[in-house]
Structure 1
Amino acid sequence: MTVIEIEDYCGNTIGAILTDKNIEIINICGFDVADKEDYDEIFGTTDKRIRIQCNNKRISGD
């Protein structure tokens, strides 16, 4: 399993997703991968955790 921790631009956790598979992020729009760790304290598992943080880039839908 993989835990994806979602943070705002200031680094505050605003949500988390517990998946049932080992996730490898290829590309993200509007976020940056802050780091990858081999443990998770949010859900209390020993699974991989990926922290993604909102960046200040605007997304254009045009």
Structure 2
Amino acid sequence: MLTSMVVITSAAHAANALLAEGAGGKEHSGINPPLNGAIVLGILLVLLFITTRLNKDR
């Protein structure tokens, strides 16, 4: 039990060290929130339209 905790802790420390080293002060562009929201809204509206058109219970 104790050895598995040591391995998990060591892996967490190694991952943190790699992430800190890889950051290097560079900022990534990321996702454009308004564009992402518009795309998700469009997909949901299409799914809603399809669901309402294919509803056989009416």
TM-score band, normalised by shorter chain: under 0.3
Q: TM-score, normalised by structure 2?
A: 0.18
Task: Specify the structure having the higher radius of gyration (Cα).
Answer: 2
- Greater share of strand residues, 1 or 2? 1
Comparing both structures, which one devotes a greater share of its residues to helix? 2
Tell me the TM-score normalised to structure 1 length.
0.17
